[in-house]
Structure 1
Amino acid sequence: MDEHLPEPIRAVEHELTALLRRGRAVSWEIAREVHPNLEPNTYGLLLWLRRSGSIRLTELAARLGVGKGTLSRQINALEVLGLVYRDPDPSDRRAAQITFTEEGQRRFDAARSARVGELLRTLNDWPARDVEEFARLLGRFNDSWQ
């Protein structure tokens, strides 16, 4: 089968595999820096939470592409660690808004800043238009892969 794949597709698969491997390693590092007992797969969850400030569990589950049950278990673990809390949603008392605690946000930001520094150093020599195009293409790829 591999010999029948067009070379650009094989190249994308190879580069995507390398990116995902590095991404998992970074997620492990950041998770451990945020809290030693934090599951590494929660980095994406924390990043979405950081970007949105406060978000409903159902909306977060949809954005992350995970089931509400799975996400609820992850949120429970984050609550136990003191990193997030739930508040009743003012527009729907049956729903909850998930928000970082002050400590959770401080820890996440501190752990993430070192990794963002690495990203800035990696892309420092790229022209701004290339970085913009790279972000646009990654966004298009992620939007298409659902």
Structure 2
Amino acid sequence: MHGSGTEGGARPTGTSGVDHVFLALERELAVFLRRARASSGEMAREVHPGLESAAYGLLVRLEGAGAQRATDLAGYFGVGKATMSRQLRALEEVGLVVREPDPADGRASLVRLTEEGLERFRRVRDARRERYVRKLAGWDRGEIAELARLLSQLNERASD
């Protein structure tokens, strides 16, 4: 990585022994995550009134990865099976997802977006992307690609 100011793995710390680089990262991530949760809640309600914020992330995953087992979704998001079951039930009740038998294992089921769920999700997602385009209009496309790459790397390591 370039320009980190911490060549050779040195960790600059203040007199209190606090690594200010990681302190700054923690602070910025906390703000980012709080805003992301609020935004996800807004997006979920735009898909369907009354949905909780976690619903939007589920819709993103199902649209991107296709049909999934509930246990796989729970593992992906790092939540318990009961929590995932409750969240999926809410999406089922409003007709956004459906469960179907898993062809690979008749005892299990796969969750997938319904046509209505896909249409509603894509409409909201496309509007969200337009907001990102406007907010990041002054950024270089390479910077945006680098941010996406770094966030992907952070997400991958968080799941270890």
TM-score (norm 1): 0.91
Partner of residue 20, structure 1: 33
What aligned pairs does 1:3-42 form with structure 2 within 5 A after superposition?
Answer: 3-42=16-55
1:123 aligns with 2:136: yes
Larger mean CA deviation between 47-56 and 3-12 belongs to 3-12
Give the number of the structure whose residues are more often helix, by fraction: 1
Partner of residue 92, structure 2: 79
TM-score (norm 2): 0.83
Partner of residue 5, structure 2: none
Structure 1: runs of 5 or more not aligned: none
- Report the count of equivalent residues: 145
Structure 2: runs of 5 or more not aligned: 1-13
Shift of 1:116: 1.3
- The whole-number CA distance in structure 2 between the counterparts of 1:145 and 1:55 is 21
> Alpha carbon RMSD of aligned pairs, Å?
1.6
Greater length-normalized contact order (CA 8 Å, ≥ 6 residues apart): 1
Tell me the SS of whatever aligns to 1:4.
Answer: coil
1:44 aligns with 2:57: yes
Structure 1 consecutive aligned stretches of length 4 or more whose deviation exceeds 6 Å:
none
Aligned mate of 1:97, from 110, 118, 123: 110
Deviation digits for residues 76-123 of structure 1, max 9, x if unmatched? 111111110000011111111111111111111112222111112223
Q: Between Structure 1 and Structure 2, whose CA radius of gyration is higher? A: 2
- % identity of equivalent residues: 47
- The whole-number CA distance in structure 2 between the counterparts of 1:4 and 1:46 is 43
